Amino acid sequence: MYASGLNQGTSGNISVRDGGTMLITPSAIPYDRMTPAMIAAMPIDGERGVWSGPSKPSTEWPFHLDILRARPEIGAVVHAHAPYATTLAIARKPIPACHYMVAAFGGDDIRCAGYARYGTDELSRLAVAALEGRMGCLLANHGMIAIGPTLEKAMWLAVELETLAKQYYLSLAIGGPVLLSKAEIAGVREGFADYGLKTGAPRGRARPAIRRNS
Ligand SMILES: [Zn+2]
């Protein structure tokens, strides 16, 4: 997360589903001092808030836990205060279909969840709602979340989300984007489905594979 520029200080946290357990980065420990033994564990369907480990879980554990509870197909959650995504979140601007990669998030926009204080159940409720049918969202006046079936895909989408946020922000500075239509985004999602990205697009038609950087 540091190398990709997603993280600022000790902000940002990651969780992974391990069977019935959520593994989550600990609270307030800089990533460069973090070791595997410091990762906290919480039961996904057990008593809410129970944890084990040498360090307490990230203060953002409520939305990590509730996303894994609400979305059984999701295996990892990445949260960051990445600069451009957070800039849009401060302005409460969702990301529209300004680039075809928006389709990788499951629809024709990336929503911005309403504001609630960090670590609260209300923020968790707002985040789960903004993520409905999506693989990422912004959090008003806070940051961003990207999710995926695996940690690798969630991290890839986190970097893509920050890239889209930067591109959308820059396009606003030169008169604003020309948006893709719902049909154009639907076409991209069909292509992604064949490539193996889980965006909820229909499957089964033979099409050339789309590479990540095409
Ligand atoms: Zn945060």
Six-digit token string for 174:
């030169």
Cα separation, 88 vs 163, in Å, equals: 12
| pLDDT value, residue 135 | 98
Cα separation, 82 vs 115, in Å, equals: 17
Q: Which residues surround ligand 1, an ion (CB under 5 A)?
A: 143
Distance 151 CA to ligand 1 centre (A): 18
Cα separation, 193 vs 187, in Å, equals: 10
Identify the helix (H) or strand (E) that includes residue 76.
strand 76-80
- Quick: pLDDT tens for 185-199: 999 999 988 776 555
Q: pLDDT band for position 207 (50/70/90)?
A: very low
| pLDDT value, residue 32 | 84
Q: What percent of the chain has pLDDT over 70?
A: 91
Distance 105 CA to ligand 1 centre (A): 20
| pLDDT value, residue 196 | 61
Six-digit token string for 30:
């800089």
Residue-wise over 19-43: b if at least 16 C-beta within 10 A, else e?
Answer: eebbbbbbbeeeeeeeeeeebbebe
- For the cut 70, the answer to whether the pLDDT of residue 202 exceeds it is no
- For the cut 70, the answer to whether the pLDDT of residue 47 exceeds it is yes
Query: Could you tell me which residues are beta bridge partners of residue 147?
Result: 77
136-139 sheet: strands from edge to edge: 40-43, 21-24, 13-18, 76-80, 143-148, 136-139, 112-113
| pLDDT value, residue 199 | 53
Is 190 considered catalytic here?
no
- The SS3 of residue 155 is helix
- For the cut 80, the answer to whether the pLDDT of residue 132 exceeds it is yes
* Mean pLDDT of all residues belonging to the chain: 91
Distance 139 CA to ligand 1 centre (A): 9
Model pTM greater than 0.85?
yes
Distance 173 CA to ligand 1 centre (A): 27
- Active-site entry in 60, 160, 162, 190: 60
| pLDDT value, residue 115 | 98
- Quick: pLDDT tens for 56-104: 999 999 999 999 999 999 999 999 999 999 999 999 999 999 999 999 9
